[in-house]
Structure 1
């Protein structure tokens, strides 16, 4: 499932934790790892031109000024490229030691634009990035780069919060937030794949609002999820139906359970057809979580014919409509 894993790096704590997780997952699935970094040499070039009026007169002559521009551009680009390389050196070394293929990518430009363009032009099975980057302050909930990447791509994105426990075998289990959307069922597939590799338990959680009379519908989805996990992955899952508002209920439950990762679809039943829109619940899960969150967005394989809902599940869903 994870043939290629991409990690945009910036040397922040959560970025470094993202590298650790990419290596752990990469080792389990023999994935190719891709590290990328974006620097802003062109911005420095603009700033240099804005300050040219402060140069001594002997450097303001047309030919001499053009020479100084080229020297400045060369030095800045080379220096930023070296810094960019240094952010990826350890990832490259660790990948080589683990016997994994590794590719470096350098981009000159606006950070989130370069990352989004690369993700949308590539075929990554998983993107891992920190919730917060170098620009984080005490009040930050989620970084602007992380937020903009999530809104502009449909990749499977693992947003990393936990910087203390990089070994996935050492803590927490998996919680899947299920709402019946295609993306949420894909998150179940991903959870089953990760659970097998790292010996994790899986809890599938759905939420119903008593005012909407959808309890039978969500019970039907939980039954189907349990059956799909068993037949597709030979995985046993536990299920839980919560009552209340979706976001508040999920956050409260996850805070008590302290999972290694919470998995959900990037868009729900109401937004699935308006790609690449990010669902409100998914966005707020990332914003308010203190744990790792994986948002599944790539279109899952259609269920095999023998995995269709049973008559009992169909009846439960029909009765709820």
Structure 2
């Protein structure tokens, strides 16, 4: 291709090599995943890989690509003026200063714009080779802020960005522009960590913690694994060791009287006998739900229950497996509305050696799917439910399950059945009717 740079020729060769295989496996799931991809371009190694992955994803999903480069002309102008005082004497003469200012003015008024166009030309050539519609976007301003405004404009549903830019260093980890953008982005964000590795080579790892965001990320991982025909590993990590440390430290500061009030010995035994085993069961349940979701989408997965600090355990797993992509929810099970990124997601974004897809997608599995692996009923609760007419019993069971799940219960007792009845059918609860009987009979009259 005349006028093509070596970097763009390399991108085009790689894309041509992958196109045929990927098209064969692309299905409805991947085509509904993303419709408009935004990629940050600066001709760095990480950005070049980001462009190549953005084009490959867009081709699979039949999506469009917009490439963006932001240049800081005003910053360059200010910095140049600040540096004039440090120039050698001969360059601080009136005529010499005027000449150097004229040269620099040319750079920042037109030169930076030309450089941005050249960066975007490379991305456009890659898109043209893959028959992907491309929109070039260049702008002057604070790089992270302008890129973020575009990402959150509502025109894109995926941002692809390199972890580092032109100033990359081997031990650099995550660049400041990337970190600032990722924390604030309102769309799915794919962060390229290793520019040498192609994501479609797999395997993929998805992490679940029972949150709607983690199951949403799992759906994206399933679509990608199916499209690329690569193995998908789903992991869940829990920490059974924290309370041992906590109880050891508490025992050192509690007085004997306070220990009796706190019932320290009983609390410690409760943790050892119930909570440790309960945590493992909860996270095995998350993996079982993931298995159900995967089976419904016709994708085989491998699951692993990990113990230890969640982010550290997942980092080790990624290293041992040699994964090319980690898919996680940007927020986790303990997120609050003011949080911009979850703690484990943040640590994995910084420390994982492979690319990271931070998913904003949410998915809540059906209540009975979750209940089948996480919830049990006491005999008393089951007897109470039998008071409901048989034709309405399934509806009542589902209403109670949803009530319990929203409050974090995994064992449904008679008291929970009563509380659900009081909330959902207060009139029936006051008159002493059966659990949700009013709910069931009302539905039959509508």
Calculate the TM-score normalised by the size of structure 1: 0.86
Larger radius of gyration: 2
Aligned-residue Cα RMSD (Å) equals 2.7
Alignment partner for residue 218 of structure 2, among 173, 177, 188?
A: 188
Is the Cα–Cα contact under 8 Å of residues 228 and 307 in structure 1 kept in the other structure?
no
How many Å separate the matches in 1 of 2:111 and 2:174? 29
Q: Match of 1:64?
A: none
Instruction: Map 1:224-243; keep pairs closer than 5 Å.
Output: 224-231=289-296, 233-243=297-307
- Structure with greater contact order relative to length (CA < 8 Å, sep ≥ 6): 1
Distance 2:93 2:75 in 1: 19
Distance 1:294 1:312, change over 3 A: closer
Cα distance 1:165–1:75, how it changes in 2: closer, same or farther (>3 A)? closer
Q: Which runs of 5+ in 2 are unaligned?
A: 1-32, 86-91, 242-274, 378-408, 413-446
Select 1:282's aligned residue among 305, 330, 345: 345
The corresponding residue for 2:259 is none
Give, in angstroms, the shift of residue 132 of structure 1.
1.3
Mean Cα displacement is larger for which, 93-102 or 132-141? 132-141
3-state SS of paired residue (1:22): helix
Deviation, 1:69, is: 8.5
After superposition, the C-alpha distances for 1:9-31 in whole angstroms (9 at most, x for unaligned) are 11111111111111111111111
Corresponding residue SS for 1:240: strand
State the partner residue of 1:139. 171
Within the alignment, does 1:205 sit opposite 2:235 as a pair? yes
Q: Hey, what does 2:184 align to over in structure 1?
A: 152
**Are residues 1:98 and 2:107 paired?**
no
**SS of match in other structure, 1:274:** coil
Contact kept in structure 2, 1:5 and 1:34, CA below 8 Å: yes
Q: State the secondary structure of the residue aligned to 1:210.
A: coil
CA gap 1:158/1:307 in 2 versus in 1, 3 angstroms = farther
Query: Are residues 225 and 123 of structure 1, via their aligned partners in 2, closer, same or farther at CA, if it must alter by over 3 Å?
Result: farther
Give the whole-Å Cα distance in 2 for the aligned partners of 1:24 and 1:307: 37
Q: Which protein is richer in helix relative to its size?
A: 2
Give the conservation status (yes or no) of the 8 Å contact 1:247–1:281: yes
Deviation at 1:307, TM superposition (A): 6.9
How many residues align? The count is 308
How much does 1:245 deviate? Answer: 1.4
Instruction: Report the equivalent of 1:16.
Output: 48
Question: Cα gap change, 1:49/1:193 in structure 2, threshold over 3 Å: closer, same or farther?
Answer: same
State how far apart, in whole Å, the 1-side matches of 2:93 and 2:362 are.
59
Counterpart check, 1:313 vs 2:374: yes
Q: Once the 2 structures are TM-superposed, how far is the Cα of residue 193 of structure 1 from its aligned partner?
A: 1.0
